[in-house]
Amino acid sequence: MLKVRAYPDPVLGRKAAAVRRIDKNLVRLVDEMFETMYTEKGVGLAAPQVGESIRLCVVNCTGKSDGEMVLVNPVIVESRGEATDEEGCLSVPGIRSKVTRAEWVKVRAYDLDGNELELEADGLEARAFQHELDHLNGRLFFELLNDAGRMTIRGRLKTLEERFTKQP
């Protein structure tokens, strides 16, 4: 299992580089990312969250093996509507907040065979895609909160920052 990086780890604030080659190392990383995501009880995981600053994420909102999605170099090409719901993040442990995102998205990406995919999603799946793509752009969910929302979690973020600086 991989170690999930926690805020304020610098890798989480960087824009990830494009994946240039799909090889056995990338396939192994994807397998380890799914294992880590399931162990940590998440529905998505982006490569920067495990210390790899590349444009790769895995998502499974169903919990079933046929719901697994691998997105290599994903981009949101279209979005519509607005929906507000509670979000958390494996890299921001213990903090959840209401976040407004697009209600529906169309994502273009590649799979592990190098085939281009175009996925349309709404609900939890649309939220997960947007959340994971934010990670690839160096953005965390709490950055989308208004001032009042940030004030409510400020103390818990400070605790995570202090914990990070005390790591060996």
Verify whether residue 132 is a known catalytic residue. yes
Q: Does residue 3 lie within any of the structural domains?
A: no
Work out how many domains the chain is built from and give that number: 1
The CATH number of whichever domain residue 46 belongs to comes to 3.90.45.10
Q: Encoding tokens for residue 66?
A: 């046929």
Residue-wise pLDDT tens digits, 66-121:
999 999 999 999 999 999 999 999 999 999 999 999 999 999 999 999 999 999 99
Q: What is the DSSP string of 143-160?
A: GGS-HHHHHHHHHHHHHH
Residue linked to tokens 């929906």: 83
Give the model's pLDDT for residue 3: 97
Which of 89, 101, 97, 100 lies closest to 150, judged by CA?
97
97 and 86 in contact (C-beta within 8 Å)?
A: yes
Is position 4 within any domain?
no
The one catalytic residue in 32, 52, 132, 143 is 132
H or E, element range at 107: strand 104-110
For residues 129-156, average pLDDT? 96
Assess if residue 2 is contained within a domain.
no
